[in-house]
Structure 1
Amino acid sequence: MTTLHFENKDEDELRKVGMSKEHRIDPQVQVGLLVDPGGFPLEVHLFEGNKAETTTLIPVLTSFQERHGVTDMVVVADAGMLSAANLNALEDAGFAFIVGSRLTKAPYDLATHFQRHGNHFEDGQILESTRSMGTGKAERERRIVYQWSFKRQKRDDRNINLMIEKAERIAAGKAPLKKARFLKVTGAAKELDQATIDRARQLAGLKGYVTNLDIKKMPGVAVINAYHDLWQVEASFRMAKSDLKARPVFHRQEEAIEAHLTVVFAALAIARHLQDTTGISIKKLVRTLGPLRTVTIRIGKQTITAAPSIGADAREILDCLPAINAPGH
């Protein structure tokens, strides 16, 4: 899911002010993009700007499943889908899922490891646990897969150090008082929250994933690899928003907005195909091939056709696309 904003302050039945990841207060629409593991677009859907993301997912998946006769779908999503109610709804609708897990429960999930091995992990080490999620009748046991990475630990430690420096400046009065992760404020006293720092250090390098797939059907490494494909979704959104100029949207009527999205969707599918075929980024493809236009000029009774001058970069790209260069194209 993402949002597309409008250069117009007036709301209507579709364009509404809602939660914006960019903290905008303009009317917007919600756009849902369904892609395959490689990022190729399968469907695009339009929703009201104030509609909660979690209420859009199951109807889209169900309709796709019915139209194409798909019987075994795994939904991969980020931690925003992690609430127990959302996961239960997905499961009740017949879908398997893999979602990112927040690390707040990791010390308890991995208590046995920390007791036996302390903070020591092997690079790439995978650990499994289970956790009860939800309350009452909604409570269900969930499988949790964790992986520790040396590279991630270095990145996490660097970020922790930066946050400690920020908290230290605030505690010393060298920076204005504002919320900081490792700052503890008691009355007028400001100091570092050492317990929170120690826990963050303990969890540095860990990443968690929640799934309802049985380990016999999908082992931990496959769960992790499937989740990592999410970057393809983000890449498709970035292409649509920036390289393919999906926003801002200047249309007003719903039909026109849907037509705009259809053009962007088609362009994204073509762009993905071109990128996969040539190995060249969409940005470079647009920049290189965009200026190539054949112009027909009519002066009186004379018609002149001016073909574009194809440079070396453009020719290299076109040579990778045999269909374009085939007779009759």
Structure 2
Amino acid sequence: MKKANYYFTLCLVLFTTIFSFMNMFQIVKVSTNVIQIVLTNLLPSLLPFMILISLCLSLGLFQLFSYFIQFLFSPLFHLTPHMASLYFVSFFCGYPTNAKIIKESYQLGYLNINQLQHLLSIASFSSLSFIFVSLHLPFQIAITIYISHILPSILKAFLHHDSYQFLSFEETLYELKNPHISFVEALKQSITSSLTAFIFILGYMLVFQFVGYSLGTIIHNHFLLTIIQGFLEFSSGSIQLLQYHHFLVYPFVSFYLSFSGLSVLMQVDNILEGIPYSFSIYFKDRIVHGICSFLLCCILQYFFLL
């Protein structure tokens, strides 16, 4: 699967390069729109979380939060204290930040590969600011989409059964007194890794936006084209889709948020480079999550919004 992703990326880069030379003026316009989305929506909502959470992980502060959250989330979802805290934080930080902090937890020895794979399955959410601010939706519609987005994951997490042990306060204090690295080194690593992650975000957003734009030359139904663009890149696809008045608009937005789009999937795969996880399982989990969110939003919209 890793080779398939590599060749897929090569094809995307080759296609984008050729298409860019043939459509320079249009590419400049698309690039400007993507950069504006990143600067106004994604950068303020994701980058601070990336840096702060990564810093807390390295300094052992995250274990203090794990100690308190374990009493609720560990019995409810059968997660270890550290997994419980990662799952809770994922509701707020958004992707691909979730993949970044899961990877760093694995590298620090807080997770094994099976626990990492399970968290990738259940802890994949869009940031709250994107749903409630960037989409510019009335609160009732935004909360309907949000519930449709998170509820399938919560149900799957609730049905999961695995052994766990509570974290003692002495173990928590030990992590605080014996951080993995110094504060200066932790801060440098946090900023560097977070900026690297944003390079992946911007790069893949640009590539998939170019692909979506190129499809406009062969697909002349704008509604259908917008739906396809959402599968490629969820943020701009969702914003464009909300311009239409159709029963399926909100369900498709819910699907995009849960599926996360091919752009985010490729971002996550690059962030998790060197980690022996299964991309095929991760991809299937995102598809199932997206379908469940789509159907749930259809039901909620029919009974509460119409």
TM-score by length of 1: 0.22
Richer in helix (by share): 2
Report which of the two structures shows the higher radius of gyration computed on alpha carbons: 1
| Higher strand fraction (1 or 2) | 1
Instruction: Work out which structure has the larger RCO, using CA pairs closer than 8 Å and 6 or more positions apart in sequence.
Output: 2
